[in-house]
Chains A and B, each alone.
Chain A
Amino acid sequence: GESVGLHLPTLSVQEGDNSIINCAYSNSASDYFIWYKQESGKGPQFIIDIRSNMDKRQGQRVTVLLNKTVKHLSLQIAATQPGDSAVYFCAERGAGAQKLVFGQGTRLTINP
């Protein structure tokens, strides 16, 4: 069945460094992937998405990389700031599916 997992449950980085959050997925038929940020006590907030016909997409300070060969997704955050502290979730959509499958999440903490 579909599943989305993360390599690390927590990640700690220095302020100003780049952060890389990884995600593995198992459904080779998934055609859409999305990253969400969830701050404490709030609902998840969209960061960036990517379709399976792409291998890279950039936003403001964020980049998502998709490697379909090894079924791996990553989120890169440039020049990490204190406001980036949150839990980050990846999610996938199986081809034709009407819903997303979410991973467990990675907690990103920023050291001053």
Chain B
Amino acid sequence: NAGVTQTPKFRILKIGQSMTLQCAQDMNHNYMYWYRQDPGMGLKLIYYSVGAGITDKGEVPNGYNVSRSTTEDFPLRLELAAPSQTSVYFCASSRGQPISYEQYFGPGTRLTVT
């Protein structure tokens, strides 16, 4: 299994541009998550999904959108990028309750907005 994969690894955006961060998992996990991690900080939850067609906001959803049309994919959309969105973005997945709450993380996407 490839686990959780993310593309791209790095990206530089200009203010006001938009982009989609891709996330895919091949473990047939129901739950998927998007986090951002600012330098020297912990992980903040942006959005999560407990299954295809179901998404919910996390702690910091403003400026982002998600969709979950399949079990495998959970793309994160940035509209009108702002410097405050400069961060490392991690996607994660888990089997979900009641089986397991352990989350498996992808390698991250490092985004710079200038």
Decide if A103 touches B101 in the complex (CB within 8 Å).
Answer: no
Contact of B43 among A32, A42, A89, A98 (CB under 8 A): A89
Contact with A along B5-43 (1 / 0, CB 8 A): 000000000000000000000000001010100000111
B interface: dominant SS:
strand
Contact of B107 among A43, A46, A104 (CB under 8 A): A43
Q: Is B105 an interface residue (CB 8 A)?
A: yes
Interface size counted on chain A using CB atoms at 8 A: 20
B82-114 with Cβ < 8 A to chain A: 90, 92, 96-97, 101-108
Decide if B42 touches A98 in the complex (CB within 8 Å).
Answer: no
Contact with B along A37-80 (1 / 0, CB 8 A): 00001111110010000000000000000000000000000000
Within the assembled complex, what's the spacing in Å between the Cα atoms of A89 and B90? 14
Within the assembled complex, what's the spacing in Å between the Cα atoms of A21 and B33? 26
Decide if A102 touches B102 in the complex (CB within 8 Å).
Answer: no
Contact of A98 among B31, B104, B107 (CB under 8 A): B31
Complex contacts, A42 vs chain B, CB 8 Å: 107-108
Decide if A43 touches B90 in the complex (CB within 8 Å).
Answer: yes
Q: Which of B43, B50, B106 has the most CB of A within 10 A?
A: B43
Within the assembled complex, what's the spacing in Å between the Cα atoms of A100 and B93? 12
Instruction: Pull 12 A–B residue pairs with CB atoms less than 8 Å apart, ordered by A.
Output: A32-B101, A41-B108, A43-B106, A45-B105, A46-B102, A49-B101, A49-B102, A98-B48, A99-B58, A100-B101, A101-B45, A102-B35
Q: Which A residues have a C-beta under 8 Å from some C-beta of B?
A: 32, 34, 36, 41-46, 49, 89, 93, 98-105
